[in-house]
Amino acid sequence: MAKYKMAIIGYGGMGGWHHASVRDNVKSFEVVAAWDIREEARAKAIENGLHAYNSLEELLEDKEIDLVTIAVPNNFHKDLSIACLRSGKNVICEKPVTMNADELREIMQVQKETGKVFSIHQNRRWDRDYRCIRKIIEDGTIGKPYMLESRVQGSRRSMVGWRGHKVNGGGMVYDWGVHLIDQMLDLFDSPVTSISAHLFNIFSDGVDDNFKVLFRFENKVSALVEIDTNCFITQPRWHMSCTDGTAVIEDWDLNGKMVKLASDEQMTWDNDIVYTSAGPTRTMAPRPRETTEELALPEVNPQWSEYYENIAGVLDGTQELIVKPEQALRVMTVIDTIFESDRLGKPVECRI
């Protein structure tokens, strides 16, 4: 029997996903109930074997519940998180945790007052592509990274429902951007010192549907984060330039490779001009093949269920929280600065 009881607020796409994923993968929590403002969603919860509350207050008063997962549109995250914490519940809030850093500070103040656990569902820290990039950096196989490009690109031009409305926290910076920014900040223990954001409204009304953001970290690493919903020829999920080689991860299935300087590499070829179809060049002519080595990407096998099991470990008093509010505050401060950079139309210097 699971040790802790859990309820879900917002039984839509992601709320239903939390229910099924916790039921099928997480030992420590049992999802027992849900609250949603829509009657159809409450009916769906009942159909799926849950108790459906008739009001938010009923959930807040339910002393059986140890943990509430909040999966509603982004503009409701702050008030619901605070209400749940104040009612004595531990809380997981979906990403983006809030609409801005100040809202998160309000939640963090209440978290301190109540002493309850508060975490943010940054589940993409358990994505295989991200863990693979992390492992390449940790192993140092191709040297030290200096430029990373992290992209998710699609062409469906879909900003369905609340995701198309600014008031609800729609747009791609909040939707996918927050994941890729969280991953990037999680990679480097170094402050972000400048942000240059380019947000685009190609087909939607009032929210960013495509964006590119260039970051500079104090440790001299730079990073490009890009989300497109209007991209018909895609680029690799990750491209990482390191001092001794390059890594490419093409897609979520982990197709890709590393190419590094051969270990016995010497500048043995003639330093003559090479005649290419683009004319003569020394610097950009292809390298002799034997001077490089192609390597497979490292194996990684992250388990997303670790996210929820970690929350149980924190409740047991045996583990430290993995996804911390302080980390999310850094992410939200970056997001605030992205919007500022785009509004000003120029890079913004910062220390985040």
Q: Which is nearer to ligand NAD, 13 or 286 (CB)?
A: 13
> Candidates 34-42, 204-212, 303-311, 341-349 — which segment interacts with ligand NAD by CB under 6 A?
34-42
Least separation, in Å, of the C-beta of 30 and ligand NAD? 21
Q: How far is it, in rounded angstroms, from Cα 97 to Cα 163?
A: 15
Partners of residue 119 on adjacent β-strands: 92
Map tokens 């197709």 to a residue.
255
C-alpha distances (whole Å) from 51 to each of 22, 46, 48, 70 are 16, 6, 9, 16
Kindly state the smallest distance separating residue 197's Cβ from ligand NAD, in Å.
20
- Considering only residues 133 to 162 of the shown chain, the ones binding ligand NAD according to CB under 6 A are 161-162
Q: How many alpha carbons fall within 13 Å on the CB side of residue 69? A: 29
Nearest to 128 by CA among 2, 249, 33, 45: 249
Q: Least separation, in Å, of the C-beta of 307 and ligand NAD? A: 10
Amino acid at 248: V
| Residues in CB range of 300: below 8 A, 6 or more apart | 128, 131, 132, 135
- Residues near 39 by Cβ (< 8 Å), separated by ≥ 6? none
Question: What's the closest the beta carbon of residue 174 comes to ligand NAD, in angstroms?
Answer: 7
Nearer of residues 72 and 199 to ligand NAD, judged by Cβ: 72
Min CB(22)–ligand NAD separation in Å: 13
Cα gap 66→29, rounded to integer Å:
9
**Secondary structure (3-state) at 40:** helix
Taking the least distance from each CB to ligand NAD, the nearer of 13 and 115 is: 13
Q: Which listed residue (6, 22, 60, 72) binds ligand NAD by CB under 6 A? A: 72
Binding ligand NAD (rule: CB under 6 A), the pick from 19, 78, 95, 216 is: 95
Whether residue 207 contacts residue 171, with contact meaning beta carbons closer than 8 Å, is answered with yes
Site membership for ligand NAD, residue 170 (CB under 6 A): no
Nearest-approach distance from CB 172 to ligand NAD, in angstroms? 11
Q: Give the residue with the Cβ less far from ligand NAD, 227 or 297.
A: 227
CB of 157 to ligand NAD, least distance (A): 17
CB of 36 to ligand NAD, least distance (A): 4
- Could you tell me if 126 and 304 are in contact, meaning their C-beta atoms sit under 8 angstroms apart? yes
Contact residues for 339 (Cβ-Cβ < 8 A; gap 6+): 173, 197, 199
Closer of 142 and 328 to ligand NAD (Cβ): 328
Closest to ligand NAD by CB, 173 or 258: 173
Phi, psi (deg, nearest 5) at residue 118: -135, 125
CA-CA-CA-CA torsion sign (14, 19, 23, 29): positive
Q: How many residues bind ligand NAD (CB under 6 A)?
A: 24
What's the token pair of residue 94?
A: 């979906």
Query: What character string, x for contact with ligand NAD (CB under 6 A) and - otherwise, covers 1-30?
Result: --------xxxxxxx---------------
Q: How far is the CB of 10 from ligand NAD (least distance, A)?
A: 3
- Residue position matching structure tokens 């972000």: 192
One residue of 6, 60, 71, 227 binding ligand NAD per CB under 6 A: 71
Quick check: bond before 298 cis, omega within 30?
no
161 or 206, CB closer to ligand NAD?
A: 161
Task: State which residue has the least CB distance to ligand NAD.
Answer: 12
List binders of ligand NAD among 40-69 (CB under 6 A). Answer: 41
Q: Which residues contact 25 (CB under 8 A, 6 or more apart)?
A: 303, 304, 305, 308
Q: Where along the sequence are the contacts to ligand NAD (CB under 6 A)?
A: 9-15, 35-38, 41, 71-74, 76, 94-95, 121, 123, 161-162, 175
